[in-house]
Amino acid sequence: METFEIRDEFHLNGKPFKVISGAMHYFRVVPEYWRDRLEKLRLLGCNTVETYIPWNMHEPHEGEFDFEGRLNVRSFIQIAQEVGLYVILRPSPYICAEWEFGGLPYWLLQDPQMKLRFEYTPYLEKVDHYFERLMQEFVDLQIMDCGPILMMQVENEYGSYANDKGYLRKVAKMMRDYGVQVPLVTSDGPWADMLENGTIPELALATMNCGSDIKENYEILKDFHGEKKPLMVMEFWIGWFDAWGDPGHHQTNIEDAAKELDDILEQGSVNIYMFHGGTNFGFTSGANYYADYAPQVTSYDYDALLSEWGEPTPKYDAFQKVISKYTEIPTFELSTTIKKKAYGEVKISEKVSLFESLEDISEKVQSPYPLSMEDLDQGTGYVYYQSNIGKKRKVEDFKLISTRDRANIYVNEKLLFTQYDHEIGKEVSFDLMDEENNLGILVENMGRINYSVKMNHQHKGIKDGVVINRAFQSGWDMYSLPMDNLEKLNFEKDWQKGTPSFYRATFQVDEVGDTFIELDGWGKGFVLVNGMNIGRFWEVGPQKRLYIPGPLLEIGKNELIIFESDGKATGSISLLDEPDLGVLQKK
């Protein structure tokens, strides 16, 4: 039987052990590439891989669990072991990770009294039910059972959210009750009260998250421990994420990052965040909100050691050189051959307007008042709201109340204006020109906030109502649009220029390879490749092309479906062999 213990240092099978780990999220990488990425982590010199576990993916609707395909965490852990890596799991109900709602499922918000991440009984009961099912996937893969799992984390950066120690202890107890035997850890920033707020030293080792000033922050962690314990940076931030509207792709200085890594390993252990970032497929990217709403782009490249598409970067080489000072670097041949392919220009062959498709892909819900996305039992995507607003006249005061995140407003299926972030809730006036007028509002969930105190207010769609000339409008038809059933589209129906629409194209593949879709001239929307949503695009950038992993393609005929919400589309797209993340030119 193998053992892993926390003493004055980490001990593996009774001997001191330096954890040299890299972060990779199985749910951000197609399963066909897991082994390739893990082999590259081992070749870097790392002995461990770390991953979060997203509750909202594994229990997308309450009581319905999914551990198949890209969500087969058990298979990911087993492949890591085959490659020669140990595993750190972070199954905390909240993960942040720049992920939709920080990994929390939307249906928690169906409780109007919900208190997230607190000792609130209904919340804890739902965590308990999830853990009961989740732990079955890997409790037999812990190190004492000859598996690769060394440690698991309780919650995540809790000290930057609250200081409810009763909650943390109950989460830790649930983990133990459902079979977790390996050491527990917490991770928090070393600033202000974060370590004090977010730790339970009697139950879990405190580790820290930071990207610089390692020597100074280690001293803070030593003082906090009060005795000799292992020092570990659980998230060594070596890059950063991008948000829509950023001036360019974030990059960090390679030499500075390598020096900080050396400082970490000189005294302790590390988990490099991120070793490989991967992709926010579908509607999975989250958002931050400080002064402004900042939803993350589809790419989670993170300026990591491996690019979004899995290629080693110059930072990889620099880190490998540092790691070689502390351990032997293995050598072996990679088992997966990956090519990049340019399939060229692809012509759009069919198109249909959303307004013509509503009844095909959604069932109408009627209510005197608008219902939020959560009240419609919908997690992500869009909602279309429709109401008859009567005769020709001037609307002097139009306002959306408690609406998120972006709304296109139509009268008689013609776009009047769009509101986003701070614009929502502002008064707008306009003239109704026809004898009868139908109001339409397409509201997009661009990602629930994944960090900090605004997480408690993440209802999407229209929560409170629509004001027209100082009174709430009643009588609504609503169409939920999670966009998960687009095989039901009928492209023989009408298309109107300037309306939100679906576009279909096919292309031939003689040799499968990774490719990148460029949508120059397109506005905002998302793309399906052979039925899989590969993520959002938006003309504001910085990301200009979406990554299509080769395993999503097939020899022969392949299908693209593009939804564009703003009436901006061209007659073609391009499939290229190079990415474009909107990288800023270095001065």
Bridge partners, residue 379, by sequence: none
Answer yes or no: are the C-beta atoms of 342 and 507 closer than 8 Å: no
| Cβ atoms of 432 and 394 closer than 8 Å | yes
Cβ-count burial 101-111 (b if 16+ within 10 Å, e if not): bbbbbbbbbee
Bridging pattern class, strands 524-529 and 556-564: antiparallel
Question: Rounded to 5 degrees, what angle do the CA atoms 222, 228, 230 make?
Answer: 80
Q: Which helix (H) or strand (E) holds 73?
A: helix 73-83
Q: How far apart are CA 180 and CA 164, in angstroms?
A: 22
Residues 165 and 134 sit within 8 Å (Cβ to Cβ): no
Please identify which of the residues 235, 260, 308, 564 carries the catalytic annotation.
235
Question: Which tokens in the block code for residue 436?
Answer: 């009868």
The residue length of the chain stands at 587
Compute φ and ψ for 326, nearest 5 degrees.
Answer: -115, -15
Yes or no: say if 238 and 304 are a contact pair by the CB < 8 Å rule.
yes
Cα-based distances in Å from 180 to 23, 153, 561, 587: 21, 11, 43, 50
Given 59, 157, 444, 564, which residue is catalytic?
157
H/E segment holding residue 382: strand 381-390
Of 354, 298, 351, nearest to 483 (Cα)?
Answer: 354
Q: Within 10 Å of residue 82's Cβ, how many Cβ atoms?
A: 12
Residue 132: which H helix or E strand, with range? helix 121-134
> What's the CA gap between 388 and 403, in Å, rounded?
19
Q: Are 509 and 558 in contact (CB under 8 A)?
A: yes
Residue 235 is a catalytic residue: yes
- Distance between alpha carbon 310 and the CA centroid of its chain, in Å? 18
Q: Does the active-site annotation cover 132? A: no
Nearest to 275, CA basis, from 557, 524, 43, 569: 43
Quote the DSSP letter at residue 246.
Answer: -
Distance CA 458, CA 449 (A): 7
With tokens 């906030």, the residue in question is: 449
Report the distance separating Cα 296 and Cα 446, nearest Å: 9
DSSP label at residue 157? S
Query: Tokens 């590969």 sit at which residue?
Result: 534
Question: What residues are labeled active site?
Answer: 157, 235
